[in-house]
Structure formats: C-alpha cells, structure tokens
C-alpha cells in the first residue's frame, strides 16, 4: 500500500506544485512527463521518416542519436527547473523564519519602550534598569541575526575574508559559556568543560570562531532534554586543537544527517523544543572552519544526543586558504 501511495504521490502534480509554490508549467515532475511524451513522439516520427529514406542500420543509429540528444535536453531542463523550484521554496521558508525571528525581539523592544514612556508609567529605578537590560538583550539578539545574514551573504559570494591570529580557544569557550549562562540556567542545563592545563593557542579568526562556538553551544543547550548536561571537551589532536560539544538532547535522525551543514537546515524537532534557529548557523560554521584550515563534523544518536566537533590549526602550523 505504501509503495502504491508513493507512486500515486509522484503523479500528483497539483500537490507537488503547491509544495514548491509554483505553477503547473514550472513544476519539474510535470515537465518531466511532458518531455517524456515529446521524446516518444520524436522517436516515432524519426523512425517513420528514416524508414522512408535510409537503411535499417542507419535508422536504428538515427533513432539512438535523437533519443540520446532529447534525453540530455530533457534532463538539463528539468534539473534546472527543479533547482529553481527548490530555491524558491527555501527562499519563502527562509523569509518566513527570519521575519518571525526579527519580529520577536522588535515586539519585545517596542513593548518595553512603551512601558517606560507610558503616561501612567510608575516604574521605579530598579524596574527601569530591568526593562533597559531586557531592551539591550533583545537588541543584541537582533544584531546577531543581522550579522548571520551578512555572513551568509559573504559565504555565498565567496567574499568572506578572515583575520587570523593566535588565541586561546579555552578562553573563547569560557566567554561563550558565560554569555549563555542565563539561558542554560533557565533550561536547567549544566555545562561542563574538560581541558588540559596547558593547551597551545589556535590560529584563526577569533571573532568568527567565537561565533561558531556560540552556535554550537547554543544549539546544544536548546536541544537538551529536561535539565540535561552539555560537555565541552578541548584537547590537542596531532597538529590541531579539537573542541567537542556534547549534549543529551534530541539527536539527529539518520535521514537528516546529510542535511545538517546545508543552508536552511532545521531539525524536525525544532517546534517541539521551541528553538529559534534560522537554519544558517551550521552552514556558516562549516565555511568558517574550512577557510580556517580546520574541519567540523558531528556524531549523533536520535533521542540520545549529539556531539559536534571542531578542529583548528595551532599557532605554529600554516594553513591553506
């Protein structure tokens, strides 16, 4: 029954067009069917014409050549439309996600400002400071979102320029954990750091690596389950420093593993865990890691947690851009 349903869905062009948000004549599966019919008609006509003016061997050769050419044209056209359709769908989803992410802090800022400026406002000094602190927090959140969008644009345009220098990755990890302290406490998540006393500095763009570490730790906290723990491990691995962030959260399903570092990827459990990811953090992280001469990857068991790891060259090792 499932096989029959799957076949039926393949021929449900109206449903697929709605999914891609395009018209019928822009829908790749429908175009594939039309091109198939064109190929069949072309073969029949070619065979009919060739039989009138050529030998059987020549007829067979002509039919094969015409068929091959038409199949190539068909594949090229349909593949192009499919990429366009997929891109259009991703763009619509991305705009929806980013609009929601920007609207939330903007609404919060507006509400807080209205509270301060309201005619009947009776806030004391302490309450006013609390409100201003919340405005600052939401403002920083918006800045991070905009910075991610700018980084995404630089990555796609291949115009991302790094400013590498030597720095302590342990210090960066500590800074990020401190900035995430409030969120981790609200989620009931404990963060542990494991690192040797002496660890060489890494050679990379400090600001951007901090952003990568922030995304990895932030994801680990948000996908942790009911007061779990997050462990950040640092160690020297050959001529690299390896940073691994492990959580006890939702994990990643096997069918999603190939999509993790792709643009706009979001875990299927995003809604359940009420995360606010835009789907570009890991895409940017991978680009930065590779441009820094390092690597990034992960191991995950669905329902039991994930470990994302990052390696970076140490200061006395040159890397290739």
* Domains contained in the chain, number: 3
Same domain for 140 and 251, yes or no, is no
Same domain for 238 and 307, yes or no, is yes
- Domain that includes residue 46, residue range: 2-89
Query: Is position 320 within any domain?
Result: no
DSSP codes joined into one string, 206-263: HHHHHHHHHHHHHHHHHT--SS-EEEEEEEEETTEEEEEEE--S----GGGGGGTTST
Residue 181: how many other CB atoms lie within 10 Å = 11
Same domain for 49 and 182, yes or no, is no
Q: What is the pLDDT along the chain (321 residues), one digit of tens a residue?
A: 556 666 666 667 677 666 666 666 666 667 777 777 777 777 777 667 666 666 666 666 776 777 777 777 767 776 766 776 677 666 776 777 777 777 888 888 888 888 888 766 677 788 888 888 888 888 888 888 888 888 888 888 888 899 999 999 999 999 999 989 988 888 889 999 999 989 999 999 999 999 999 999 998 998 887 778 999 999 998 889 999 999 988 888 888 888 888 877 766 555 444 455 667 889 999 999 999 999 999 999 888 889 999 999 997 654 444
Query: Model's pTM, two decimal places?
Result: 0.67
CATH number at residue 177: 3.30.565.10
Whole-number pLDDT of residue 127 = 82
Same domain for 174 and 308, yes or no, is yes
Query: Is position 36 within any domain?
Result: yes
**56 is written with which tokens?**
């059987």
Report helix, strand or coil for 115: helix
């Amino acid at each position: 029954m499932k096989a029959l349903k799957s076949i039926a869905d393949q021929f449900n062009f109206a449903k697929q067009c709605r999914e891609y948000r395009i018209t019928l004549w822009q829908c790749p599966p429908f175009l594939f069917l039309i091109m198939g019919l064109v190929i069949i008609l072309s073969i029949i006509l070619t065979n009919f014409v060739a039989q009138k003016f050529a030998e059987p061997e020549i007829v067979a050769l002509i039919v094969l050549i015409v068929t091959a050419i038409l199949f190539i044209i068909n594949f090229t056209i349909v593949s192009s439309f499919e990429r366009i359709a997929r891109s259009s769908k991703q763009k619509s989803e991305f705009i929806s996600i980013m609009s929601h992410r920007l609207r939330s802090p903007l609404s919060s800022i507006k509400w807080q400002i209205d509270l301060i400026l309201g005619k009947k406002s009776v806030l004391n000094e302490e309450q006013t400071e609390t409100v201003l602190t919340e405005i600052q927090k939401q403002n920083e959140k918006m800045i991070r979102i905009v910075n991610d969008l700018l980084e995404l644009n630089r990555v796609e345009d291949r115009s991302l320029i790094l400013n590498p220098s030597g720095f302590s990755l342990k210090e960066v990890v500590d800074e990020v954990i401190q900035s995430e302290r409030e969120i981790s406490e609200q989620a009931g998540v404990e963060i542990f750091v494991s690192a040797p006393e002496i660890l060489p500095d890494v050679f990379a763009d400090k600001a951007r690596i901090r952003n990568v570490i922030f995304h990895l730790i932030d994801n680990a906290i948000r996908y942790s389950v009911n007061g779990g723990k997050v462990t950040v491990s640092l160690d020297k691995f050959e001529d690299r420093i390896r940073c691994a962030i492990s959580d006890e959260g939702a994990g990643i399903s096997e069918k999603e593993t190939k999509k993790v570092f792709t643009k706009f990827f979001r875990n299927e459990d995003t809604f359940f865990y009420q995360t606010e990811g835009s789907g570009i953090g890991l895409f940017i992280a991978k680009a930065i890691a590779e441009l820094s001469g390092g690597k990034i990857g992960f191991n995950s068991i669905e329902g039991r947690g994930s470990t994302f790891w990052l390696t970076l060259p140490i200061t006395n090792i040159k890397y290739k851009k």
